[in-house]
Each structure stands twice: as structure tokens, then as C-alpha cells.
């Protein structure tokens, strides 16, 4: 049978039914019989005491005279008829003097069973000729002046206890049979509240895996399932975003690779077939070189981002003077600044500020930020790189007075391949990957980077670093 929730529940239901039935009819039955036997024993004890107190004189007289007392006998017979108990008044030597069943009189109990007086209670006593059925007997001692004078012995048929047990058991089994359909309804309910939501979840999971992220999963019922449903819906939302992101990513990559490759191919073919005259070749070879460099930069940036994502980047943390690194990085932009007549101001909060960070990676961050600041600044403007210390942190700021970033683009600039529309015309070399890498580097250091920018006014990028503890 296929392992389904339904089949398991049916098996559990049958097992539960059979087990309860067996338990009731074995252990339960024994327990009931024992309880009924104990009740019978209590009844015999109470009755013996009652007979002793009620008919004390007649009992002593009967024992003393060794003669049946007829008035006593009449009383014992009515007890026997009423309660189904046979009563014997017995002498010390075991002779039955007065008995509610006549046949027993003048017989000796020791002859019937030599071990009869060994215990107060005995079960399954069968005395042919006296009783037609096995009996349970109770021996009650009768004393006078603290001396044993005789016994009151009471018998009741074992069959009575067994019959009573069967009667009770019939009722219990009828109740059990009535309980079975109720148990089945309970199992049906369990199936309904567990299997139905599971089916809905499975359907939703199939829809999501086939790309239908808009499928609406509505789960009612138990809160655990509702929580699971909400988690799966959330997951589908995230998958949908990832799917979109991947599509955009592939589209961007294809576009960014295709355009330089097209121009490289076009110019190379034109040079080869002579369309471009010999004296012009230098110019076009330079374009080919420029595009090749752009492709190399794109590939290495992608590889670097990938390394960050796989947590494969090992940070080489050392202590160094951040002012020194800012100076060195700024120097490498001297030519670019001269071309655009940009003044690069460096303002440090202290003469030396030592930080614990990966020198090469932080230099790369500074390079990306200053490079962007220059790219997106107008000619004749200025750029300010400054440091500020607060507690154990140093905040490095790169501020420009260029084109700025439109408000709705601010959050997106950290995404891969994102370029604002305003910047596209200004920057043909850009890959849209620089800030993604910058953010990954800062986050790998467990630090933060933020941007404040107003379109048409300028931008300021600020990132934190941890100072070296002296």
C-alpha cells in the first residue's frame, strides 16, 4: 500500500480498535472479575458479622447442643433465598449443626476438605451432593470468652460472579462498538485538518516551482499551517525577485559584453579587409584596445563579486594609516583631475589615523568612490575627501558637487549593473559594478557605507572603519 497519510491513519485506526478491544477483553476483564470477587468477599464478611450479632444466642445454643435450631434455620433459609448465600453454623470440630441447605447438616467440613480451615476464603470449592456448582466460601470464627466455639461459614456460587462479569462486559463491549464510529470520525477530522492544507501546500509549491509566482496560496485552519503557508508565500516572493534579478543580470551581462565585442569585431574585420586605410588603423586599434580593457575590467569585477558572494574573500587585516592611503589613491587621479580642472581637497581629522582593515581592499573602495566623484563632477568643480573620528570609528567621506543621484535611484545604485539615466551619457566606461563591489568590501569588514545625494547638487559617500586600539 502506498504510504499516504490516509493509509497510515486507517492503519492507526484499525490498530487502535483492535488494541482497545484486546485490552478490554483480557486485562480489563481480569480486573473486573477481581473487583467483583472482592465485592462478593466484602458482602460475605458483612453478612457473617450481621448473622453473628443478630442470632448470637441461637448460634451458641445450636453449637452447645449440637442440635439444629429450627428458628435459626428458618432465618438462615430466608437469607439464603434473598441473597443467594448458603449459611452453615459449624462446631469447633467441623460438624455442620445448622445449615440453610439441609443436606449439609451433620456432615463434617474436614471430611469435605481437610484443608478447609487453613484460610478464611477459599474459591472453587466443589462438594458433590451438597452443592451442584463450585462455590466461594468464607469462614467466620465465633468465640465465647476469647475461646473458639465454632464457625459461621458462608458460600456463594462462583458462577454468580462470572455471570455478573459477563453482564458488565456485554455493556462495556456495546459501548466500545458505539465508540468505534466516533473514533473513526475523530480520525477523519485529523485527516481533514492535516491532509487538506498539505495538499494545498503541495499544489502551491508545484505552481511556484513552475514559475507561477502569482499563485495565491490561501491556508485556513491550524495556525502552524497558516504560518507555513505564509513562509512559503514569502519564499515565492523572494524567488520571484531572484528570478527577476537573474533575468536582468543575464540581460545586462549580454548587453555589456555584446556592444564592445561588436565594435571590436567590426573594426578588426574592417582593418583586415582594408576598409580602414592603413594611416587610420592606429585610431581604430586604440578603440579595440579600449574596448578590450573594458571587457577585462567587466570580467574581473564579476569574478570579484562572485568571490564575495561565495564568502571566498579572505581579508588581510593589518593596522595602517588611512590618511596615507587616501593621499596615495588621490595621487593616482592627478591626471584625471587636471583634465577636468577639478580640485581634490584632502582634510584629515588627525595627522595620522591608524585603522584595522584590509589595505588593498580599502584602497579599491577609495578608488571606486573618487573615480565616480570625478566621472560625475562638472569641469572646474571640486571634490573633498575627509576623515572624522568618533569613538573607536573613523568615518571617511568622499564629497563631490556633480550631477547628484535622483531620489528614486539612491537605493538602486548598490545593485549590480545599475546606472542612473543621468549618468549614462556621461560615463561610457562604467560597468555599474563598482558600488556593488564597494559595498561587499565594506560589509565584509562588518562596517557600513551610506550615501547622501541631491540631484544637480552633488553626492557624499561615507563609510566607517575601526581604529586600531593602541
Residues that bind ligand ADP (CB under 6 A): 368, 372-373, 376, 400, 402-405, 413, 418-420, 423, 427, 430-436, 459
Q: Which residues of 101-113 are buried (b: 16+ CB within 10 A; e: fewer)?
A: beebbebebeebe
The smaller minimum CB distance to ligand ADP, of residues 60 and 290, is found at 290
Residue bearing cell 466443589 = 126
The smaller minimum CB distance to ligand ADP, of residues 94 and 430, is found at 430
The smaller minimum CB distance to ligand ADP, of residues 204 and 449, is found at 449
Beta carbon of residue 245, minimum distance to ligand ADP (angstroms, whole number): 16
The smaller minimum CB distance to ligand ADP, of residues 200 and 422, is found at 422
Q: Which residues contact residue 328 at a Cβ distance below 8 angstroms, ignoring those fewer than 6 apart?
A: 363
Pick from 457, 464, 358, 450: nearest CA to 411:
450
Beta carbon of residue 258, minimum distance to ligand ADP (angstroms, whole number): 17
Beta carbon of residue 428, minimum distance to ligand ADP (angstroms, whole number): 10
The smaller minimum CB distance to ligand ADP, of residues 77 and 419, is found at 419
Beta carbon of residue 419, minimum distance to ligand ADP (angstroms, whole number): 3
What are the helix (H) ranges across 2-148? Answer: 5-23, 29-54, 56-65, 70-83, 109-112
The smaller minimum CB distance to ligand ADP, of residues 393 and 412, is found at 412
Pick from 47, 27, 33: nearest CA to 163:
33
Beta carbon of residue 451, minimum distance to ligand ADP (angstroms, whole number): 8
Rounded distance between C-alpha atoms, residue 405 and residue 171, angstroms: 86
CB 124, CB 111: distance < 8 Å: no
Beta carbon of residue 452, minimum distance to ligand ADP (angstroms, whole number): 11
Pick from 99, 93, 110: nearest CA to 68:
99
Report residue 344 CA to chain centroid gap. 58
Q: Where are the beta strands (DSSP E) in 354-457?
A: 354-358, 382-390, 393-400, 449-454
Amino acid at each position: 500500500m502506498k504510504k499516504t497519510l490516509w493509509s497510515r491513519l486507517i492503519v492507526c485506526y484499525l490498530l487502535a480498535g483492535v488494541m482497545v478491544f484486546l485490552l478490554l477483553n483480557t486485562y480489563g476483564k481480569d480486573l473486573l472479575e477481581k473487583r467483583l470477587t472482592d465485592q462478593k468477599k466484602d458482602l460475605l464478611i458483612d453478612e457473617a458479622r450481621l448473622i453473628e450479632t443478630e442470632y448470637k444466642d441461637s448460634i451458641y445454643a445450636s453449637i452447645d447442643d449440637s442440635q439444629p435450631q429450627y428458628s435459626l434455620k428458618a432465618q438462615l433459609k430466608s437469607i439464603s433465598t434473598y441473597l443467594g448465600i448458603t449459611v452453615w453454623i459449624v462446631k469447633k470440630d467441623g460438624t455442620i449443626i445448622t445449615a440453610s441447605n439441609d443436606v449439609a447438616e451433620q456432615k463434617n467440613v474436614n471430611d469435605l476438605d481437610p484443608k478447609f480451615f487453613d484460610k478464611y476464603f477459599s474459591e472453587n470449592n466443589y462438594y458433590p451432593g451438597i452443592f451442584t456448582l463450585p462455590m466461594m466460601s468464607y469462614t467466620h470464627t465465633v468465640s465465647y470468652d476469647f475461646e473458639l466455639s465454632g464457625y459461621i461459614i458462608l458460600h456463594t456460587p462462583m458462577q454468580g460472579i462470572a455471570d455478573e462479569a459477563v453482564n458488565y462486559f456485554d455493556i462495556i463491549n456495546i459501548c466500545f462498538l458505539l465508540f468505534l464510529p466516533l473514533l473513526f470520525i475523530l480520525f477523519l477530522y485529523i485527516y481533514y485538518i492535516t491532509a487538506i492544507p498539505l495538499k494545498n501546500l503541495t499544489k502551491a509549491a508545484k505552481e511556484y516551482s513552475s514559475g507561477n509566482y502569482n499563485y495565491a496560496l490561501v491556508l485556513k485552519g491550524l495556525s502552524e499551517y497558516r504560518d507555513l503557508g505564509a513562509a512559503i508565500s514569502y519564499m515565492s516572493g523572494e524567488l520571484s525577485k531572484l528570478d527577476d534579478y537573474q533575468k536582468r543580470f543575464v540581460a545586462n551581462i549580454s548587453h555589456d559584453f555584446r556592444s564592445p565585442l561588436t565594435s571590436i569585431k567590426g573594426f578588426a574585420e574592417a582593418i583586415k579587409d582594408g576598409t580602414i586605410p592603413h594611416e587610420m588603423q592606429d585610431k581604430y586599434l586604440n578603440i579595440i584596445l579600449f574596448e578590450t580593457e573594458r571587457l577585462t575590467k567587466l570580467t574581473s569585477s564579476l569574478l570579484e563579486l562572485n568571490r564575495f558572494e561565495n564568502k571566498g574573500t579572505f581579508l588581510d587585516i593589518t593596522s595602517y594609516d588611512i590618511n596615507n592611503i587616501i593621499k596615495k589613491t588621490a595621487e593616482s587621479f592627478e591626471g584625471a583631475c587636471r583634465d577636468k580642472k577639478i580640485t581634490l581637497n584632502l582634510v584629515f581629522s588627525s595627522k595620522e589615523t591608524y585603522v584595522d582593515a584590509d589595505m588593498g581592499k580599502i584602497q579599491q573602495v577609495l578608488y571606486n568612490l573618487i573615480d565616480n566623484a570625478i566621472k560625475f563632477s562638472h569641469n572646474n568643480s571640486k571634490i573633498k575627501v575627509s576623515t572624522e573620528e568618533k569613538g573607536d570609528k573613523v568615518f571617511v567621506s568622499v564629497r563631490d558637487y556633480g550631477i547628484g543621484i535622483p531620489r528614486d535611484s539612491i537605493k538602486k545604485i548598490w545593485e549590480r549593473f545599475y546606472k542612473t539615466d543621468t549618468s549614462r551619457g556621461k560615463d561610457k566606461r562604467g560597468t555599474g559594478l563598482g558600488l556593488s563591489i564597494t559595498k561587499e568590501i565594506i560589509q565584509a569588514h562588518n562596517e557600513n557605507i551610506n550615501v547622501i545625494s541631491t540631484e544637480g547638487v552633488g553626492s557624499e559617500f561615507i563609510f566607517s572603519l575601526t581604529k586600531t586600539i593602541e
